[in-house]
Amino acid sequence: MLWEDKMIKSMTGYGQGDAGAGGRTATAEIKSVNHRYSEISVHMPGRFNYAEDSVRQLIKSSNNRGKIDVSVGFFSINEADNQITFNPAVAKQYYSGFRELQKSFDTTGDITLELLGSMPDVFKHDRPREDEDAIKLLVLEAVALALSAFDEMRLVEGAKLKTDLEKRLGILTCIIRKIEERAPEVRETYTTRLKERIAALADKPDDGLLEQRLAIEIALFAEKSSIDEELVRMSSHIEQFRTAIKDESGEPVGKKLDFIVQEMKREVNTIGSKANDLRITDLIIELKNEVENIREQVQNIN
């Protein structure tokens, strides 16, 4: 798909693939659920264990998060893979044994071909040495087809996640702007109230001490309550997040987004602890809610 590398992928998905050649057929099924780390489980017939590592590496090449289950089946109608050997010596021993049984218990009964054929080791399924390279190639082809369908489903879901995240980033930006607009008003309101309080307490409002005391108090308040740096960093995190979900390299971005969200939460908590204003506190609650919604969505991204 031409647009595959230009979109983020969801961690959840399902895909199935079949590949056949020379009377052999391999089937593969891939499904995944959210997981903080990468966990790949491969289930296949024991005699094909030599292909497991290659299957695991193929899956791992495009997935760095999620709990992924891969099931591989194999069916062959190739005569070289299915050889049945008749053991007449064993069949004769069973026949003789049944005849002795009849004599010992003085009973009758038919000793049929069906009865003899059902006895252990009368017929033996001999499995010759398999062409491991050919079988591994067939298995990997089936897994690759399943992986393609699996990725396509994840891309569709990823597109929905991207749209939702972009909308939420816009909401975050809007809230940040409201806080930036409100912050200077908080300082002005505090300055006005402080002047009134100091003027009411001062014995001589015009002796020059008032302005000095005001300057000190205002400076202390400004230093303690300033959220300018946090707002700048928050805006930077939003842009980093927006850039990451537009990344066209095809590299998984889930872990990177998770880290950015953690930084967002840290800045929001700091702003909340410094804000000395009811309106900003209300905006912080909105901010925390949106960041948490984004965090939950990020858990779905590969």
Q: Which residue has the tokens 């990344």?
A: 247
Considering the domain architecture, whether residues 166 and 148 belong to the same structural domain is answered as no
Instruction: Count CB atoms within 10 A of the CB of residue 201.
Output: 10
Give the residue carrying structure tokens 């205002």.
Answer: 218
d(CA 85, CA 232): 79
Query: From the CB of residue 302, how many other CB atoms can be counted at a distance below 10 Å?
Result: 23
Residue 73 and residue 192 in one domain: no
For each of the chain's 302 residues, which pLDDT tens digit applies? 333 445 788 989 999 999 988 778 999 999 999 888 889 999 998 888 899 999 999 998 888 788 999 999 988 755 555 667 888 898 899 989 988 888 888 888 888 888 888 888 888 766 656 678 888 999 999 999 999 999 999 999 999 999 999 999 999 999 999 998 888 776 766 666 666 666 665 555 555 555 666 666 655 655 565 788 889 999 999 999 999 998 767 678 888 999 999 999 999 998 888 877 888 889 999 999 999 999 999 998 88
Q: Do 163 and 49 fall into the same domain? A: no
Using alpha carbons, list the distances in angstroms from residue 302 to 22, 34, 224, 248, 264.
37, 9, 40, 14, 20
Q: Are 121 and 238 in a shared domain?
A: no
**pLDDT tens-digit series, residues 106-158:** 888 888 888 888 888 888 766 656 678 888 999 999 999 999 999 999 999 99
Q: Report helix, strand and coil shares of the chain as percent, to nearest 5.
A: 65, 15, 20
User: Is the same domain home to 97 and 181?
Assistant: no
Give first-to-last CA distance, the chain, whole Å: 18
Question: Residues 199, 285: one domain?
Answer: yes
> Do 202 and 284 belong to one domain?
yes
- How many domains does the chain divide into? 3
CATH of the domain at 134: 3.30.230.70
DSSP state of 10: B
Residues 239, 134 within the same domain? no
**Do residues 223 and 164 share a domain?**
yes
Same domain? For 106 and 191 the reply is: no
- Residue-number span of the structural domain to which 228 is assigned: 157-298
**Chain centroid to CA 246:** 18
Cβ-in-10-Å burial (0-12, 13-18, 19+) of 150 comes to: buried
Residues 99 and 177 in one domain: no
